[in-house]
Amino acid sequence: MTNPVRIQQEDFSQDAEIAALKAVSKRIGGIATFLGCARDFSEGRDVSEIGFEAYGSMALAEMNKLRSEAIARFSLLEARIVHRVTNVRAGDNIVFIAAAAEHRAAAFDACRWIIDELKQRVPIWKKETTPQGESWVTQHP
Amino acid sequence: MTNPVRIQQEDFSQDAEIAALKAVSKRIGGIATFLGCARDFSEGRDVSEIGFEAYGSMALAEMNKLRSEAIARFSLLEARIVHRVTNVRAGDNIVFIAAAAEHRAAAFDACRWIIDELKQRVPIWKKETTPQGESWVTQHP
Amino acid sequence: MIRILFFGPVAERVQMRETQIVFTAGMRLQDVVASLGAQHPQAFDIVSFTAVNQAQVKDMQLPLNDGDEIAFMAKFSGG
Amino acid sequence: MIRILFFGPVAERVQMRETQIVFTAGMRLQDVVASLGAQHPQAFDIVSFTAVNQAQVKDMQLPLNDGDEIAFMAKFSGG
């Protein structure tokens, strides 16, 4: 069984993640997932490639904290968070979140909370390659 | 490519559904999914099996309407709805909803809306087998 | 002929899944409901939705046509 | 020694991913920020988060220890 929180180069399988999630409990009634994908278009520019860079040790620690907090906060039965750190093209998978609960409301609330928090708290940066060159996606402080 | 709205006996694959969803557009940034599973426990009783029955022609028409309404209402790029009608045991898949949008908020809102509406609008009934016998899950009007 | 369908909990109480009734000119939905409801009161206790030709109908005054398909349904519990 | 890490947009502006500075007794986080910030003002313009030993720190008065790992980071854009 793979670890429920991972940073990896390679792609992942929803079927494998869901199977691992379900193996934890027979009480699961609803699983909400979020799959973030690379788009070919961002803020008016064509994007041919997106590269990711992470502060690996801190990112993994923050993702593990996020999973534990989500499980406690939403009474989840299980949750998984996988983020790829590599170069991706349009349509490729970037991030996968899955939240399993007895009932669907908690699963949806938790899944949305995890991806919102991940974007705020996990040290990963994205660089887009466009016809105008490469640029880091970052706002000024 | 399978139809994006289906009622079927056999199980489905999330990977296959997501691949079919993504094939429609390179603009997809977020895909929210909901997977409903059979639980071994419902309202205080152990459940060994759940059987489903549908008014097939009407259920399929309502699910197609739901998909179209969701796409229009949340500006989705694509959506899929699959419901199994068969006998299932704890852990088995029952229903799968996927909503794909440019950004995650619309994908989450749409996915949740579709499953909420499906439960209200699609003529499918569920019968639970417990140690006390079989009983239809239905509220009085 | 009017085709009548029952599903799930309603079918269980009516003890059949399908029946037919003869169409007569001027027939309205309420005529079918009154006739079947009198024969199967326990089943009609849990009827929450009625569909004519796969579309939900709330107006019991709806005129019927020969060949219509009517379904009497309990609250849905899919998903 | 204090190990200093830069990532993504900050690394690009500093033009390095890692450096070291000599630890001196009584050293505080603000001493490191002042020293590196003066050398790389453009990079520190976009620094939004500082972590010491993989945990975010907001108090620049934090005393440092020999062997600490400090990261200066731009706003995150993962997910």
Chain D nearest C-alpha distance from A98 (Å): 14
In a domain, D37, yes or no: yes
Reference D20, options D72, D74, D70, D73; nearest CA is D70
C51-72 pLDDT tens trace = 999 999 999 999 999 999 999 9
pLDDT confidence of residue B49: 94
pLDDT in tens, B62-84: 999 999 999 999 999 999 999 99
Number of domains forming the structure of chain D: 1
Decide: A82 and A3 in contact? Cβ < 8 Å: no
Q: What is d(CA D58, CA D47) in angstroms, rounded to the nearest whole number? A: 12
Q: Residue B44 — pLDDT band, cuts 50, 70, 90?
A: confident
pLDDT tens, residue order, chain A (141 aa): 799 999 999 999 999 999 999 999 999 999 999 999 999 877 777 889 999 999 999 999 999 999 999 999 999 999 999 999 999 999 999 999 999 999 999 999 999 999 999 999 999 999 999 888 999 986 655
Average pLDDT, chain D: 97
Write the DSSP assignment of A20-67 as a string of letters.
HHHTT-S---EEEEEEEE--SEETTEE-SEEEEEE-HHHHHHHHHHHH
Query: Which structural domain range is residue C63 located in?
Result: 2-74
Contact A39 B29 (CB under 8 A): yes
pLDDT > 90 in chain B, percent: 87
Q: What is the pLDDT of residue A32?
A: 98
Asked if residues C11 and C32 have their Cβ atoms less than 8 Å apart, the reply is no
Q: What is the mean pLDDT of residues C36-43?
A: 97
User: How far apart are the C-alpha atoms of D26 and D32, rounded to whole Å?
Assistant: 12
Nearest residue of A to residue B110, measured between CA atoms: A108
Probe site for chain A from D3, D44, D54 (most A CB atoms < 10 A): D54
The predicted pLDDT at position C67 comes to 98
* Domains of chain A (ranges, CATH numbers): 5-137 (3.90.1170.40)
Among all chains, which residue has been given the structure tokens 């996927």?
B98
Residue B43 has pLDDT above 90, yes or no: no
Q: Is the dihedral of CA A13, A17, A22, A24 positive or negative?
A: positive
Nearest partner of A128 among A12, A19, A46, A60, judged by Cα: A46
User: What confidence score (pLDDT) does residue B140 get?
Assistant: 53
Q: What's the burial of A92, exposed, middle or buried (CB within 10 Å: 0-12/13-18/19+)?
A: middle
Answer yes or no: is pLDDT of B46 > 70.
yes
* Assigned domain for D18 exists: yes
Q: What is the reported pLDDT for A139?
A: 60
Q: What average pLDDT does this structure show over B21-44?
A: 92
Tell how far CA D32 is from the center of its chain.
7
Residues of A with Cβ-Cβ distance to B33 under 8 angstroms:
14, 32-35
Nearest to C49 by CA among C31, C65, C29, C68: C29
Task: Please report the residues numbered 94 through 113 in chain A whose beta carbons come closer than 8 angstroms to any beta carbon of chain B.
Answer: 102, 104, 107-108, 111-112
ipTM associated with this complex:
0.94
Which band of pLDDT confidence, cut at 50, 70 and 90, is reported for residue B138?
low
Residue C79 included in any domain: no
- Please indicate, yes or no, if residue C27 is contained in any of the structural domains: yes
A18 closest CB neighbour out of B14, B32, B41: B14
The pLDDT of residue A114 is 98
Backbone angles phi, psi at A136, to 5 degrees: -70, 140
Q: Do A40 and B26 touch (CB under 8 A)?
A: yes
Name the least confident of A123-132, B2-11, B43-52: B43-52
Indicate the residue of B32, B36, B37 with minimum beta-carbon distance to A34. B32
CATH classification of the domain holding D39: 3.10.20.30
D79, part of any domain? no
Chain D touched by A111 (CB under 8 Å) = no
**Considering the domain boundaries, does residue C57 fall inside one?**
yes
**Contact indicator for B110, B99 with CB cutoff of 8 Å:** yes
D32 part of a folded domain: yes
* C 8-37 residues with CB < 8 A to B: 8-9, 11-12
C51 touches chain B (CB under 8 A): yes
Task: Give residue A27's pLDDT.
Answer: 95
Q: Is the pLDDT of residue B141 over 70?
A: no
Token pair of D12 as six digits = 């690009």
**Nearest partner of B3 among B78, B80, B115, judged by Cα:** B80
Supply the pLDDT for residue B118. Answer: 98
Mean pLDDT of C41-59: 97
Enumerate residue ranges in chain D where pLDDT < 70: none
